[in-house]
Each structure stands twice: as structure tokens, then as C-alpha cells.
Amino acid sequence: MAKLSVNINKIATLRNSRGGNVPNLLKVAQDIEAFGGQGITIHPRPDERHIKYQDARDLATTVTTEFNIEGNPIKSFIDLVLETKPTQVTLVPDAVDAITSNAGWNTIEHQSFLHEVIQEFQNNNIRTSIFIDTDLKLIEAAVKTGTDRIELYTEEFASQFEAGNKNAIKPYTEAAVLAHDLGLGINAGHDLSLDNIQFFKQNIPNLAEVSIGHALIAESLYLGLENVVNMYLHRLK
């Protein structure tokens, strides 16, 4: 079974819209774990428009499952990860003003930089993952960075699947097979939802973990958070 890590950025966005501490981010994280969620993901950005750096520090002492911090490895982010020591850090090449993640790493062009950053995290016993597209050459180059895992960027699959094109899964299947053959763990995330997660899981061999936030929180507005977490767990079996 692939693990479900719930991204709680949208909870922080809702909290920040009114100030104060409602909804309580730490309580939501604890509830998600109690409902069966197997990990908590956050993606702090430099402007702290949703997850704040202090949230990462607070969650590091309260999350009891897997704690995953995503972000662009600028100095402030690297310092935060080394301070909080999450289970996993997922490196994402976000522009400072990006609304959401919209591209994977060019592991050929940035190989040396990624290798240096990854080695520092691994020296601190933090598992590393690289956000990446399905280009097989980039997957091959990812091995040379020393990363433990890759996270397949699934927006294209999700949009094509919604349009009825199930063949859009093929590049992801091929990427996963190659990554596994090369000794890389396989994560996935971005626009995965209750509508497409089961099909995705069935076609991605050796899928270790998915990180889902926007869709899961939106679906929970209608169906309830505990119910939605367990619906994902059922589809990931």
C-alpha cells in the first residue's frame, strides 16, 4: 500500500485569512493522523503566505507519523529543514512568486547543486526526494544527485485523465519502472484526487507515497475530513 501524506497548506491559508489560530493547524495535523493519515506534508514559501516557518518548528514536535517538508532549497529553507529534521525533505524548484508548484527539476543542469544540498540533508539523517517530470533522461540523472527518492509531478496526468485520456498514465508508469530499476524510491503528487488516485496507484509499480492537499481539503468540505482520509486510504490499498 502506498502511504498517504496529507498536505495541510490549505488549512494554513484558511487560518491566515482571518489571523489568529482558527483552524488550529497543529490540531488538524493531529486529527489527520488519528483518522489514519500516514504523514503530514507542508510547503513553506519565503513569503509565508500559508505555512509559516514557525509552523514547521511546531509541527516537528507534534507530528508522530512521517513529517515531509517541501520547498525550494534556498538558504532559509535549508536552515529550517536542518533545524526541524523532518523524516523527509522534498526539493521543489519553485519560483519565489509561484502560486503552486509547476515544474520538476532539471537534474542534468542542476545536478551538482542538488548533490551538494542532498548530501547535507542525508548527513543529518533526513531522507531526500526530488520533484521531477517523467523525462527518462532526468530520472537517470537524478540518481547522480544521490537522492533517495523522486516525486513524480502529476499535474499533466491529472488534467489528461479528467479529459478522458487514460493513456496519459504511460509516461508515469515508464518513469516509475526506470526509477525503481535504478534504486530510487517513488513518490507522487500534484492534482491527485479521489477521482484519479486509484487508477494512478494501480498503474504505478512500487509507489511508496503520495502527497495530496488541495483536492483532499476541497473534497473534505463536502464529505468530511475523516471520511475523505479513509477514502484515500481505501483507494491506495
Are the C-beta atoms of 57 and 24 separated by less than 8 Å?
A: no
In this prediction, residue 29 carries a pLDDT of 98
Which pTM value belongs to this model?
Answer: 0.94
The contacts of residue 236 (CB under 8 Å, 6+ apart) are: 1, 2, 3, 4, 197, 198, 201, 210
Q: What single letter denotes the amino acid at residue 61?
A: T
Looking at domain 3-235, its CATH architecture is Alpha-Beta Barrel (3.20)
CB 195 within 8 A of CB 160: no
Low-confidence ranges of the chain (pLDDT < 50): 99
**Residues sharing a CB contact under 8 Å with residue 76, sequence separation 6 or more, in sequence order:** 46, 53
CA-CA distance, 140 to 145, in Å (whole number)?
10
Cis amide linkage into residue 23, ω under 30° from 0: yes
What is the per-residue pLDDT for 176?
98
The confidence score (pLDDT) of residue 100 equals 54
Catalytic residues: 43, 70, 190
Write the pLDDT tens digit of every residue in 169-194: 999 999 999 999 999 999 999 999 99
Record the cell numbers describing residue 161, joined without a space: 485523465
